[in-house]
Amino acid sequence: MKFAHIADVHLGREQFNQPFRYEDYLKAFREAIEKSVKANVDFILIAGDLFHVSRPSPRTIRDAVEVLELPRRKGIPVFAIEGNHDKTIRETSVFDLLEHLGLLYTVGLKKEPRKGEFQGSKRLSENRYLVWGKVGDLEIHGLRHHTRWQLIRGDANVLRALFKGKRGILMLHQAIDYLAKDTPYQDAFDLRLSELPDGFSYYALGHIHVRRIAEPSQTGLSGPLAYPGSLERTEVREASHIIRYSTRDKKPKVLENREGPKGFYIVEDFQPEFMKVETRPFYSVRIEGNSKVELRRKVEEVSSLIPKDAIAVITLEGTIKGGIALAEFNDLLKDSGIRYYTFRSRVVGEAVLSKERLSEEELFTEWERELLMHLRVEPKEFSEGLPEFVSWLMERYEKGIPAKAMVPKKAQVAPEAGKEKTAETGERVTKKAKAPEKAAKEKKPGKEEKNHEKKPTPKPKNPASLDAWLRRDKL
């Protein structure tokens, strides 16, 4: 069995508002599909973010159709899941159109069952079906992108409940903590390694844009975890080359990015082999200087090291009285022939010295770090997962918030005589003694008053159960 594993295509993106970047992203996708077809794969996986936006332009849809026609003509099925850029709040997406045209098969939760040569399904609830792909005896399972609080609720694990006893391939568009180190998702991961369901021969992952593989001997899972990375260079951290020119350097240092080239995997017998895709050179340049004159000289010197067809993001650094204006540097490269360049500034007008460096643990409590991790999502994702987030938050409050997170250290003092702790705020207030005459006049609650006393609110059923999760009808 041989298949291709592609992720994070981002078709339709005009990076830096440059139309030529649209063509670059399309070219990379076409090359990946052509190489997959030429390798005679049995099927192709697209692990999320085929498109850059959930409502792609007609031109982008047309180009996606033309490229996906290549494997369809050869009888090679394409299985896909929606990434965070693809999915919509509504049930349908552009993936439904591509599926209707017979260009790909989506897997995951659906309102309608699927049955055919390359699909199977199982009813989970009144209007929910688990749909998977199939090639021969091999099953391809998957789920579109979800936020962490949608998947993990206390002790409840939606993925494990959903894929219990399943085998074959599991396709997810999520950031796994074990493989997200040194990426923007390091502290904002979706899943911990220990939360993945076991039993699959291959975990086809997408989302973190860099290439990573973890073997079963490293993870304890039944198959390798693999991220092929994005097909194109989507941001500065993915630059193909890095140039550093500090005040201590006599000449600039040019390095290739340790992440290497862009591409995808051809997987045979569940062992991935990386396939390179040609992409435009992308340079991340950082230049440090102590004056405008020094910075300008270094910019001109560095420009000769950047190819004509490249993209360059140039960051200027240093401490210069009065700062700088980036417009003063744009003219330096106007005749360089570099396809696209932009300047960024980290120059300060005066030195700002910090006497001490506080760790994350000193700045935030464990509860605060957990809350911030849940909130670190795109606005669209937050609005989509708001009911789940509110349920998680209420559940967390029921368990109790650590006192350290509720009361500043200075306010945490020993109780004094005549003070009583309130249940709501955790603060202590002075309890005034009642006068004997006033106490005598107070009435005991009568029958009518007793009937109006508040009854304890029954504790809601666990919102994290699979049945409750499916009934939310937000998938």
pLDDT tens digits, 356-388: 666 656 666 666 766 766 666 666 566 656 666
Q: Check whether 89 has a pLDDT greater than 80.
A: no
pLDDT at 351: 59
Distance CA 63, CA 209 (A): 22
Quickly state the pLDDT bin for 430 (edges 50, 70, 90).
very low
Question: Which of 412, 429, 455 lies at the terminal end of a domain, its last residue?
Answer: 412
Asked if residue 408 and residue 346 are part of one domain, the reply reads: no
Q: What is the pLDDT confidence band of residue 150, given thresholds at 50, 70 and 90?
A: confident
Choose among 396, 398, 400: nearest CA to 370. Answer: 396
116, with CB counted inside 10 A (0-12, 13-18, 19+), is exposed
Q: Residue range 49-59: average pLDDT?
A: 95
**Between these two residues, 238 and 455, which has the higher pLDDT value?**
238
Active site residue 85: yes
Does residue 274 fall inside a structural domain?
Answer: no
Specify whether 107 is located in the same domain as 57. yes
Which region among 82-96, 252-266, 307-321, 414-428 has the lowest average model confidence (pLDDT)? 414-428
Q: Are residues 377 and 305 in the same domain?
A: no
Q: Which of 197-201, 367-371, 383-387, 401-405 has the highest mean pLDDT?
A: 197-201
pLDDT value at 170 more than 80? yes
Same domain, 291 and 373: no
pLDDT at 149: 83
Q: What is the CATH number of the domain that holds 152?
A: 3.60.21.10
Look at residue 104 in the predicted model and tell me its pLDDT: 96
Residue 144 inside a domain? The answer is: yes
How many structural domains compose the chain? Answer: 3
In-domain check, residue 148: yes
Q: Alpha-carbon distance 340 to 184, whole Å?
A: 25
Looking at 52, 85, 146, 241, which residue is catalytic? 85
User: What is the predicted pLDDT for the residue at 460?
Assistant: 46
**What range does the domain containing 304 cover?**
239-258+281-352
Q: What is the pLDDT of residue 376?
A: 62
Confirm if 273 and 204 have CB atoms less than 8 A apart.
no
Max mean pLDDT among 137-146, 398-407, 429-438 falls in 137-146
| Dist CA 200 CA 141 (whole Å) | 9
Do 249 and 221 fall within a single domain?
Answer: no
358 with 224, same domain: the answer is no
Q: Is the pLDDT of residue 433 over 50?
A: no
Answer whether residue 389 is part of any domain: yes
The answer, yes or no, to whether residue 451 has pLDDT greater than 80, is no
Residue 178 sits in the same domain as residue 199 = yes
pLDDT one-digit tens code per residue, 105-135: 999 999 889 888 999 999 998 889 999 999 9
What is the residue-averaged pLDDT of the chain? Answer: 83
Residue 458 lies in a domain: no
Boundary-marking domain end, from 318, 336, 352 = 352
Q: Are residues 18 and 38 in the same domain?
A: yes
Domain membership of residue 427 (yes or no) is no
pLDDT of residue 383: 63
pLDDT at 454 over 60: no
Residue 105 in domain: yes
Bridge pairing between strands 241-245 and 253-256: antiparallel
**What pLDDT shows up at residue 350?**
72
The verdict on 166 and 34 lying in the same domain is: yes
Confidence at residue 407, expressed as pLDDT on a 0 to 100 scale: 45
**Same domain flag for 245 and 228:** no
Position with higher pLDDT, 160 vs 363: 160
Regarding whether 179 and 297 lie in a shared domain, the answer is no
- Percent of the residues in the chain that have a pLDDT greater than 70, as a whole number: 74
Average pLDDT over residues 66-93: 91
Higher-confidence position of 401 and 63:
63
413: confidence class by pLDDT, cuts 50, 70, 90: very low
Predicted confidence at residue 463, as pLDDT, reads 46
Dump pLDDT digits (tens) for 303-321. Answer: 999 999 999 999 999 999 8
The answer to the question of residue 435 being in a domain is no
pLDDT of residue 199 exceeding 50, the answer is yes
What's the mean pLDDT in 388-416?
A: 56
The CATH number of the domain where 307 resides is what?
Answer: 3.30.110.80
Q: What is the pLDDT of residue 218?
A: 95
- Residue ending a domain, choose from 234, 268, 291: 234
Q: Which residue has the higher pLDDT, 142 or 379?
A: 142
Considering the entire predicted model, what is its pTM?
0.78
Give pLDDT, residue 69: 98
Tell me the average pLDDT across 91-98. Answer: 87
- Examine the pLDDT at 436 and tell me if it is beyond 60: no
Q: What percent of the chain has pLDDT over 90?
A: 61
Are 303 and 366 members of one domain? Answer: no
